[in-house]
């Protein structure tokens, strides 16, 4: 059964190594919506993302895709759901020993029975979508950080997912490349109409890409709202993000561009 793209996180709790990481997180993401989970390092963003793809089982609460709780699904159905969720890992996480084409083809070969000619057509299509056409024979070591990120996005889109999850998509990139990745995420969403969830500590990325921003601190959401609502929030963490890295005027620019 094909997903619509709706995601519900309901009162999610998780402890790791005896330490609470998620402490009652709830969030709804509508089909086709883009939501950024913004917060400092160590606040629980990536742990939440792992629950969204069913890699972790909650201690309490649940993650639902179209009303189905992931941790209650039988293995076959969970595989079906996961095949409709694309993940762009932090640092792109390409296989160093595989070419660009082989990296993008990896999920196709694992989850689809297709002739090689069709696999190569899909690989070329996805690479063109992210502006990396003609790079099929290159190795990851030959690519810049921004180019690797683009290939990672192409791989995440290989199975035409209904939901795309991004883990710190601009981490480690220079500001110019980071803004280019922001624009790419916006273009991909516009073309594919996917539901988008990204975790980030980059306020510019959150403001540029997302319809709503959920601000997390110490395993809880301290506020969720539009860019305008985030900017108006008196919460100290939100204000710290707004003040950090001399973002005042740049946030205005990002808001206008988005």
Tell whether the model's pLDDT for residue 53 goes beyond 70: yes
Q: Is 107 helix (H, G, I), strand (E, B) or coil?
A: helix
Reported as a pLDDT band with limits 50, 70 and 90, residue 242 is confident
Tell whether the model's pLDDT for residue 80 goes beyond 50: yes
Using CA atoms, how far apart are residues 168 and 87, in angstroms rounded to an integer? 11
Q: At what angle do helices 116-129 and 100-111 cross, to 10 degrees?
A: 120
Q: Is 166 helix (H, G, I), strand (E, B) or coil?
A: strand
* Strands of 195-200's sheet in order across: 85-88, 163-167, 195-200, 34-38, 212-217, 220-225
Quick one: pLDDT at residue 255? 45
Mean pLDDT score across all residues of the chain:
90
Question: Within a 10 A sphere around the Cβ of 233, how many other Cβ atoms?
Answer: 18
Which residue segments constitute the domains of the chain, with CATH numbers given?
7-84+161-257 (3.40.50.300)
Q: Are 46 and 199 in contact (CB under 8 A)?
A: yes
How much of the chain exceeds pLDDT 90, in percent?
76
Residue 82 in tokens: 């996961």
Q: Is 201 helix (H, G, I), strand (E, B) or coil?
A: coil
Q: Taking Cα atoms as reference points, which of 153, 173, 172 lies closest to residue 164?
A: 153
Using CA atoms, how far apart are residues 243 and 247, in angstroms rounded to an integer? 6
Q: 69: number of CA atoms within 13 Å, CB side?
A: 10
Tell whether the model's pLDDT for residue 149 goes beyond 80: yes
Using CA atoms, how far apart are residues 157 and 123, in angstroms rounded to an integer? 10
Q: If you average pLDDT over residues 130-149, what whole number do you get?
A: 93
Reported as a pLDDT band with limits 50, 70 and 90, residue 240 is confident
How much of the chain exceeds pLDDT 70, in percent?
95
Tell whether the model's pLDDT for residue 118 goes beyond 70: yes
Quick one: pLDDT at residue 41? 85
Tell whether the model's pLDDT for residue 247 goes beyond 70: no
**121-125, 131-135, 202-206, 240-244: range with lowest mean pLDDT:** 240-244
Q: If you average pLDDT over residues 104-130, what whole number do you get?
A: 94
Q: If you average pLDDT over residues 39-46, what whole number do you get?
A: 89
């Amino acid at each position: 059964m094909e997903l619509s793209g709706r995601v519900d996180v309901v009162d999610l709790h998780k402890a790791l190594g005896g330490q609470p990481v998620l402490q009652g997180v709830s969030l709804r993401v509508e089909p086709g919506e883009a939501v950024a989970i913004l917060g400092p390092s160590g606040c629980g963003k990536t742990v939440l993302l792992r629950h969204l793809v069913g890699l972790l089982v909650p201690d309490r609460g649940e993650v639902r895709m179209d009303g189905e709780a992931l941790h209650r699904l039988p293995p076959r159905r969970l595989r079906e759901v996961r095949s409709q969720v694309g993940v762009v890992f932090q640092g792109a996480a390409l296989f160093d020993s595989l070419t660009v084409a082989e990296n993008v083809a990896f999920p196709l070969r694992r989850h689809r029975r297709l002739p090689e000619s069709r696999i190569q057509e899909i690989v070329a299509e996805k690479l063109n979508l992210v502006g990396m056409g003609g790079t099929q024979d290159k190795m990851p070591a030959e690519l810049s950080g921004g180019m690797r990120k683009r290939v990672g996005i192409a791989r995440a889109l290989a199975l035409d997912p209904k939901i795309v999850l991004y883990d710190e998509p601009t981490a480690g990139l220079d500001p110019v490349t980071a803004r280019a990745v922001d624009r790419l995420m916006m273009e991909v969403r516009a073309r594919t109409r996917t539901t988008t969830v990204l975790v980030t500590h980059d306020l510019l990325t959150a403001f540029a890409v997302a319809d709503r921003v959920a601000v997390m601190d110490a395993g809880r959401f301290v506020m969720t709202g539009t860019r305008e609502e985030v900017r108006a929030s008196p919460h100290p963490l939100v204000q710290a993000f707004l003040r950090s890295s001399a973002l005042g005027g740049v946030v205005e620019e990002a808001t206008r561009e988005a």
